[in-house]
Structure formats: C-alpha cells, structure tokens
Structure 1
Amino acid sequence: MRICIDGRMYGKGFTGIGRYIQELLNYLVKIDQENEYLVLLTKENFEEFDIKQLNFKKELADFKHYSLNEQTKFLKHLKNKEIDLVHFPHFNIPIFYKEPFVITIHDLIHTLFPGKKLTRFFHRQAYNIVLRSAVKHAKKIIAVSENTKKDLIKIVGADPSKVKVIYEAVDSKYYPVTDHKKLSDLKAKYDITKPFLLYIGNWRYHKNVHGLVEAFNLIKEQGKIDCQLVLPGKMGRGHQEEAEVAIKDSPFRSDIILPGFIPEEELPLLYNAATVFAFPSFYEGFGLPPLEAMACATPVVSSNASCMPEVLGDVAEYFDPNSTEEMAKKLVKVLKDENLRKELSKKGPLRAKQYSWERMAKETLDVYRNVVNN
C-alpha cells in the first residue's frame, strides 16, 4: 500500500490533533516496514518531522487550513499523487477530492460550541459543508470515543457501519514521581504554597474554566479548606473572556496561580504535585488531561459530560458541569478524604495503561488495509 497522511497539523503547535498525528506516525514507523508512507507537511513543521525510515517520505504541502487554497491548490496537489489512500486526521479536506480517504474526527466542538470563530454565517456554512462532505465521502471514519461516534451519527448523519472507534492514549512521560525535592522545587518556582487544585487545557468557553473558578470561590467562602487553584496557560489569547473575567473578579484572586506557559518537561511534575486534578469541561472528544493526571497517580474530579465517564471509568469522582455547587462539593470531598485520594491514586495509573498509542496505530493500520483491500 502507498498511504498519504495529511500531517499539516503535525507537532506541538496544534495541541491535541498535533499530538495525535505525532504519535500515529511514531508508532507506524515502529510497526510497519512494509507499506510506503507520504507525509504532507507545512513550512512550519517540515523540519520538526525527522523520521529517517526508508518507507516514510515527507513532502511540502504548505496550504493553510480553513482556506480557499486548501480547497483548490491542495486538491490539485493531492490529485497528482500515486497513492492508494489518504488519511486526513481531521475534517479539513478538499470537498471535491473523491479518491479513497479515511478521516479522524476528534470531536464536534465547532458544532456544539462554535464560539467566536464561527459567528459569521459564511464561516458556519463553510464548516458544515466541509464536515458533512468529509463524513459522507470517507471510506472509513475513525472516532476517538464512543461518544464522538454517537455524536457523528446523531448530529451529522454518519453511516454507523463506516465509523470505527479507536482510542487515544497517554504519553509514557506521565508517571508517578517520587522525588519530593523535584516537586517541592517546582511548587516554589510557581509560588504554590498550599494544597492545590490543578486544571490543564485551554480556556475556551466549553472548557468551563469560569465554572471551576466559581466553584473554587465557593470552597473558599465556605471555609471548607485552605487551598490554591493553579491555571496554566496564556491570558489574552481571545475566545476566553468568561474565564478571564471570573479570575479577575474572584475575591480569592491571590490564591489563583497563573503560571503562564508550562514547559513540556515540567507538565508531569505539575500533575504529580497537584492535590487534585479538576476537569470541568462541558464537552470533550476524548479528554487527555485527566487521563494524564491519572497516569501520574493524581486524584481526578471530573465533569460527567460527554465522553468523560467512558474514558475515565470508575477512577474519578464526577459532577454535573452546570452546577458549581456540585462541583465544589465533589472537590471538597476528595480534598478532605485522604483515603479516597489514596484509592484514586492507586487506580489511576492502571486506568491510564488501558490505553495505548501503539494499539491505536495498529488499529489504524488495520483500517487502511480494510479500505484498500475492499
């Protein structure tokens, strides 16, 4: 087989999808020396992709997502390839490309929580046309959870027989750290002086960071426990006004730590140092951060929305993300109950190990074979 993989979102710059493509390629290199792969990249990530295996080639395809060039010049670029199959690891495909292709749909956040990116009628229409065309014409659709599969069938009208669920996984760098000095030094670096709640992720509306801040305010107001809230990330990136206003208006602003960008190598330490990891999201396609926290043996208190119970199982305490009171109550429960924290800490790494990037790559390769052979 000659497989083309659209790697234009490859790497750290595209967060979740970038990591997905990175891990898929890393493990395809390990498990498949037989088939030929052509990886399409942009100027920004061309040098970052540095796989030397002979059956993997890279090629420049510098066509911006959500652009006219993606629908015209990228289409022409693809038509000139001698390939058996294209894998688009997202929904951004040229709508007139009719050769065999597979897509991965991570979530329907743009449909359910369009935000300011899709406030204009034209943008909404363009998104819907591209998404529905991709779902209709794909030979196979990979969904990253049963919840995403359900949404695709219900909202977009996907053919259930075409949708295959293949789970994502946690990087091996996330594991329990027993070096207390490293953890103490990290907390000192970021002025963390109390037991703390941690949230990792962006601050867009559907992530419900504003709800987490309100729940934190309730915990402090009621004098339940003296703790801090740590929210990494950059302020002022747009589309996150609710979170910024909630932080600014909090009467406990001095106990909300905003460390800004956290270097990749420090993230496992931060997870390990946290007393509790809080995940208040209204909607996720898979939800990697709470699983990363579990891999680090950090107790998780999560929203019960969308895929979270499916992915986290019985190794988390759940709350309704629409109720800040319930969120605060569950956070206090885990913060106060040392035995419960120990139980969740013990089960967390075992739950995280149920997911595997290598298995994801093997199952994806099976999809390629199935499509090409049929």
Structure 2
Amino acid sequence: MSRTVFINGRFYQQPTSGQQRYGREVVRQIDAELAQRGSPARWILLTPPGTEQVALQHIEQRSVGPLSGHAWDQVTFYRHARGGSALNLNGSGPVLHRRQVVVIHDAAVYRHPEHFSRAYGLAHRTLGRLLARSARIATVSRFSQRELAKVFGVSPDAMVLAPNGGDHLTAEGDPSIVASLGLSDTPYFLILGNLTRNKNVAVAVRALGLLGEGRVKVVAVGSLNAALFGDAGLPVSRDLLMPGRLSDLEVVGLMQQARALVFPSIYEGFGIPPLEAMTNACPVLASSIPAVEEVCGDAAAYFDPHDEAGLARLMIQAVEDTPWRDRMAMAGSKRVTHFRWAVPARALMDACEALC
C-alpha cells in the first residue's frame, strides 16, 4: 500500500460557500503544515480537468479525468486514489474506497429534508449512509458529532472533530461596495450564505417590516440555487438588497461598516459567517440553535429563529446603542482567536496518516 494521501479537490470547481471555503482553507493549511512538520506520507491534490492551478508548495496537484460531478468522485477519483488513502473535505467521496476520511459537515439532509430538492436530498442521504459504513467520518462541531452519530448509529467518539477556522478574511476590505449599493447614509445589516430556506432570511425580512420601511436595510450576500434547494420563500421588501455573490474584499468592506451580521439559520452544523464577522469587529446577532451557540459562546446576541420581533429588538439596539455594539465587537474579537484553520488541518492529517 502506498504511503500517499490523495485529496479530493472537486470542490475547487464549485462556487465558494461554506463547505468550499472549508476545503480551500484546510488544503492551504495542510500545505503550510507540511512545510513545518513534514509528513510520513506524500500528499497529492486530485482535481477534475479544467480546475484552477492552486498555489501550493508541498502538495502536488494533478488534473485527472474524465467525468465530472459525483461521477468523477465515484469513478475517476477512486481509480487514481485507490492505491493510497484519501481525504474528502466536502461531504462526498468514493463509496468503494476503504482507506479514506470523509468530512460530513452536518446532518441537515436527514433532519430537514424539506429544505432540499427531493433528488438532492435522496442522493446525499444515501451517499452519507454508504460512506459511514466504510470511511472514517470527520465533522466540524460537537453538535454535528452527536447528530451524525444518531443518524449513522455510531459513537460520536468514532468521528474526527475538525472544526472550521475564522482566520481567513483578514485583508483590508473594499469600502467602495457600501457606496455602490447606496448604503453610505443608511444603517444596514449583513447576511452571508446561499439564500436557502435553511438560512431563514425570511425572518430578517419580517423583522424589517416591524422596524418600518426605509429605516434600515438588510444586505443578503449569496446566491439562490432553486434546482438544489428550492426557493428561499422570501417576503417582498424594498429594504432587502440581494447583490448576489461578492468578492471577499467586498464582503469585508460591508462587514466593517455594518451595524451587525444577522445569522438567522434554522439548522447549522457549524456556521462560518459569525467567525468571519468577529474577525472584522462586526457584532453578531445569531439564532439560538445548538451549533451556533457552541461556536459563538457569549460573543453573540441571540434570538429565536422564528421570532422576528426578538430579532427586531436586537436590530434596534445595534442601530441605537453604540457602546453595546462596541462591547459585542470586542467579545467577538476575543472569541474568534479560538478558531484557527491549523486545528482541522492537523486533525485531518493525523487521521489520514494513520490510515497509511
């Protein structure tokens, strides 16, 4: 058996959302760890044809084909990785491989199937159960360990804990995005993530209605893929701006002038946006669900995800109470220091090297 770890890099062909961010940052950090500590294994990133060349110093990148999507995972990646161990960072992997680590970020397709299209939900529920029989499962929070353990019928301790980091959006932001969206003289709140029903943007829109038209704006950054997730069920509001996907620098620019990040999700396995906001001194208003409370601790102000009145009260406080907002930003800046990408990279390296 080869002492080689093959990384599944199919996510490099996907738009960067939470799970793709995880994959990119973990690969970048593994590359840095290889420079510092070395490894008994050789590390190779396999990507589908046409994938960007990733800036790596110690991980070899190979473009292999044919096929694409899940077929690439099950056939092409498996064929090229079967001689070593494999690392899959994005919830998928070849079911026939017997020496692999698969990161499954949450149990959303099992706990809330109504948030996904029937085809997507069925495919991912089946794939997850098959992988749990043959692969070493990793996940991103204690909450997700417990959830996936119940779904798969295994011990939580059998899973690798490899949480997200928050130390990636640290560059100076692009403040021009604020003016380009017409927000220079208007207090606004920021929501980040794909506009799916699970992200619960609708509760923020209803809260806007309670505040009165034109008083504040909500900027929801992300895309809506109705084919995978269905429509987001959003009420109509002139105070909701949906600019689509933005660059990291534009997102940071918005964070640095927002009254707060609103994170209203109904279900999460972790939740990266609150950490991104905390990194940039942006207060966080978050739904009181277990994974988010695990991540944010006492550095966020919480509301019930179905209570628009509770969220509206917090939004008013964030607009009117500057000292409170400053205290929340300071608490977030301290909290985010506990989440670094080196942590999941080291945990996943150890798990993969053990399989070698």
TM over 0.5: yes
Q: Does 1:226 align with 2:215?
A: yes
Match of 1:264 in 2: 248
Q: Does 1:91 align with 2:65?
A: no
Q: Provide Cα deviations, 1:25-60, integer angstroms capped at 9, x if missing partner.
A: 212222214431121101242x3324243x524241
Q: Provide Cα deviations, 1:115-171, integer angstroms capped at 9, x if missing partner.
A: 575425xx6544333111111211x32110111111101222233231121211124
Once residues 216 and 182 of structure 2 are traced to their aligned partners in structure 1, the CA distance between those partners, rounded to angstroms, is: 13
Q: CA deviation at 1:278?
A: 0.6
Match of 1:127 in 2: 124
* Contact 2:221–2:244 (CA under 8 A) maintained in structure 1: yes
- SS of the equivalent of 2:54 reads coil
> Partner letter of residue 324 of structure 2?
L
Per the alignment, do residues 102 and 116 of structure 1 end up closer, same or farther by CA in structure 2, a change over 3 Å counting? same
Once residues 308 and 347 of structure 2 are traced to their aligned partners in structure 1, the CA distance between those partners, rounded to angstroms, is: 39
Per the alignment, do residues 281 and 155 of structure 1 end up closer, same or farther by CA in structure 2, a change over 3 Å counting? same
Once residues 333 and 115 of structure 2 are traced to their aligned partners in structure 1, the CA distance between those partners, rounded to angstroms, is: 37
Q: CA deviation at 1:196?
A: 0.9
Once residues 27 and 76 of structure 2 are traced to their aligned partners in structure 1, the CA distance between those partners, rounded to angstroms, is: 25
Match of 2:327 in 1: 343
Match of 2:231 in 1: 241
* Contact 1:197–1:276 (CA under 8 A) maintained in structure 2: yes
Match of 2:53 in 1: 48
Once residues 230 and 195 of structure 2 are traced to their aligned partners in structure 1, the CA distance between those partners, rounded to angstroms, is: 5
Match runs of 1:1-374 below 5 Å:
1-10=3-12, 13-32=15-34, 33-34=38-39, 35-45=41-51, 47-53=52-58, 56-67=60-71, 70-72=73-75, 74-79=77-82, 82-83=83-84, 85-97=85-97, 99-115=98-114, 117-120=116-119, 124-138=121-135, 140-174=136-170, 183=175, 185-192=176-183, 193-220=185-212, 226-234=215-223, 239=229, 241-244=231-234, 246=235, 248=236, 250=237, 253=238, 255-372=239-356
Once residues 353 and 81 of structure 2 are traced to their aligned partners in structure 1, the CA distance between those partners, rounded to angstroms, is: 20
* Contact 1:175–1:296 (CA under 8 A) maintained in structure 2: no
Q: CA deviation at 1:263?
A: 2.2
Once residues 233 and 123 of structure 2 are traced to their aligned partners in structure 1, the CA distance between those partners, rounded to angstroms, is: 28
Once residues 298 and 171 of structure 2 are traced to their aligned partners in structure 1, the CA distance between those partners, rounded to angstroms, is: 19
* Contact 1:233–1:259 (CA under 8 A) maintained in structure 2: yes
In our comparison, the structure showing a higher alpha carbon Rg is: 1
Task: Indicate the structure whose relative CO is greater, using CA pairs within 8 Å and at least 6 residues apart.
Answer: 2
Per the alignment, do residues 158 and 59 of structure 1 end up closer, same or farther by CA in structure 2, a change over 3 Å counting? farther
Q: CA deviation at 1:351?
A: 1.1
* Number of residues of Structure 1 aligned to a counterpart in Structure 2: 348
Per the alignment, do residues 366 and 49 of structure 1 end up closer, same or farther by CA in structure 2, a change over 3 Å counting? same
- SS of the equivalent of 1:282 reads coil
Structure 2: unaligned runs, 5 residues or longer? none
Once residues 132 and 223 of structure 2 are traced to their aligned partners in structure 1, the CA distance between those partners, rounded to angstroms, is: 34
Once residues 299 and 13 of structure 2 are traced to their aligned partners in structure 1, the CA distance between those partners, rounded to angstroms, is: 30
- TM-score by structure 2 length? 0.88
RMSD of aligned alpha carbons: 2.5
> Partner letter of residue 231 of structure 1?
A
Per the alignment, do residues 24 and 282 of structure 1 end up closer, same or farther by CA in structure 2, a change over 3 Å counting? same
Q: CA deviation at 1:282?
A: 0.5
User: Which sits farther off after the overlay, 258-267 or 210-219?
Assistant: 258-267
Structure 1: unaligned runs, 5 residues or longer? none
User: Which sits farther off after the overlay, 106-115 or 339-348?
Assistant: 106-115
* Contact 1:233–1:261 (CA under 8 A) maintained in structure 2: yes
Q: CA deviation at 1:237?
A: 5.3
* Contact 1:220–1:226 (CA under 8 A) maintained in structure 2: yes
Once residues 228 and 129 of structure 1 are traced to their aligned partners in structure 2, the CA distance between those partners, rounded to angstroms, is: 41
